[in-house]
């Protein structure tokens, strides 16, 4: 007996619904990345007459970058910035969420207080912190005088402290933002699980470590991905606080990309940095997703 396969009629509506998003992604994401890959194989500098026309050099831009000690320093600064901001911001966001996930009077005020830094534009936040980091009368130095420190330390002008200053501002700015995601996750956890744990005599630490945190694994995956990408997108407050200095002491990858493209007008090198940028972010996102899926299985 021959089986007849019935073909479903073609429905164009789903494709029409995703068409605007597909066009947007193709024009503003896929095409710029492909163009950057292509341009990264050429030498082209718009501020030098003899290099204005692109000339093929293959992997020359990549080789020059990884042989440049300043670029290696930029990569080191980026890694320090990520290690200094991402874990601390996520941990603080989780702790803030635990603190404000209570039905007590006035808790809304504390939620707003923790989230308020995220509402401020990064440039405004950096301007506020410029006053805090100011020598002589800045809040940091004023507070340190109570601990016996007397010198006017220039936080943003010191090569050893400039990157730390940028990290402090980023943590202050982002922790409340991650708190909102954790708070939403906490408020959607099943209550019967915690009731069963209480009946079994589990203490607060056991509930937190064995129940709450594992149930928030998906939330943590999302937040860690967002935090990692945000760390790579840092440029605004660096430009205001330190302008990448002194001596590139606070220059990270995106700021170096901006400098190469708009200050030095080096299209080839900036395109190569863009490709490195995309590859690193893509590798992290895929790895993070695969690790999470493996744990779920």
Task: Say if residues 64 and 270 touch (Cβ distance below 8 Å).
Answer: no
Q: What is the CATH number of the domain that holds 226?
A: 1.10.3720.10
Q: What is the pLDDT of residue 2?
A: 47
Quickly tell me which residue has 């990309």 as its tokens.
257
Is 231 within a domain? yes
The pTM assigned to this predicted structure is 0.86
Domain count, the chain: 1
Residue 33 forms part of a structural domain: no
Per-residue b or e along 210-246, where b marks 16 or more CB atoms closer than 10 Å to that residue's CB: ebbeebbeebbbbbbbbbbebbbebbbbbbbbbebee
Instruction: Enumerate residues 6+ apart whose C-beta is below 8 A from 24.
Output: none
Q: What is the pLDDT of residue 152?
A: 59
Q: Is residue 246 part of a domain?
A: no
Q: Could you tell me which residues are beta bridge partners of residue 43? A: 55
- Decide if 21 is inside a domain: no
Residue 225 resides in a domain:
yes
- 99 located within any domain: yes
- Whether residue 29 lies inside any domain: the answer is no
**Burial class of residue 106, CB neighbours in 10 A (0-12, 13-18, 19+):** exposed
pLDDT of residue 1: 45
- Return the percent helix, strand and coil in the chain, to nearest 5: 70, 0, 25
Tens digit of each residue's pLDDT, the chain (297 residues): 444 555 777 788 888 899 999 999 999 989 999 999 999 999 998 888 787 888 999 999 999 999 999 999 999 999 999 999 999 999 999 999 988 988 778 788 888 888 888 888 888 888 888 888 887 777 877 877 777 776 657 888 888 889 999 999 999 999 999 999 999 988 888 878 877 877 777 777 888 888 888 888 888 888 988 898 888 888 888 988 888 888 888 999 999 999 998 888 999 999 999 999 899 988 888 887 787 766 655
Report how far residue 175's alpha carbon sits from residue 178's, in angstroms, rounded to the nearest whole number: 5
| The Cα angle at residue 58 between residues 251 and 53, in degrees rounded to 5 | 80
The residue segments making up the domain with residue 108 are 84-240
Please check whether residue 142 lies inside any domain of the structure. Answer: yes
């Amino acid at each position: 007996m021959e089986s007849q396969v019935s073909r479903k009629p073609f429905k164009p509506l789903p494709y029409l619904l995703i068409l605007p998003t597909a066009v947007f992604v193709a024009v503003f994401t896929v095409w710029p990345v492909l163009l950057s890959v292509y341009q990264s194989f050429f030498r082209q500098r718009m501020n030098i007459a003899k290099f204005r026309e692109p000339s093929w050099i293959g992997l020359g831009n990549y080789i020059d970058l990884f042989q440049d000690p300043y670029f290696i320093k930029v990569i080191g600064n980026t890694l320090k910035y990520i290690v200094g901001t991402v874990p601390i911001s996520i941990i603080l966001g989780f702790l803030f969420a635990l603190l404000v996930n209570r039905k007590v009077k006035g808790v809304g005020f504390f939620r707003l207080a923790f989230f308020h830094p995220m509402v401020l534009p990064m440039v405004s936040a950096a301007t506020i912190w410029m006053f805090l980091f100011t020598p002589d009368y800045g809040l940091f130095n004023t507070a340190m005088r109570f601990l016996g420190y007397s010198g006017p330390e220039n936080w943003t002008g010191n090569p050893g402290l400039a990157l730390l200053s940028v990290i402090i501002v980023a943590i202050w700015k982002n922790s409340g933002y991650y708190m909102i995601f954790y708070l939403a996750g906490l408020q959607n956890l099943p209550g019967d699980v915690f009731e069963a744990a209480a009946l079994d005599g589990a203490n607060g630490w056991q509930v937190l470590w064995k129940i709450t945190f594992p149930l928030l694994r998906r939330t943590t995956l999302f937040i860690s991905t967002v935090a990692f990408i945000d760390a790579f997108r840092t440029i605004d407050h660096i430009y205001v606080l330190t302008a990448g200095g002194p001596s590139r002491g606070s220059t990270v990858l995106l700021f170096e990309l901006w400098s190469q493209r708009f200050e030095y007008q080096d299209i080839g090198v900036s395109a190569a940095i863009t490709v490195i940028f995309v590859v690193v972010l893509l590798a992290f996102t895929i790895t993070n997703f695969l690790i999470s899926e493996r744990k779920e299985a």
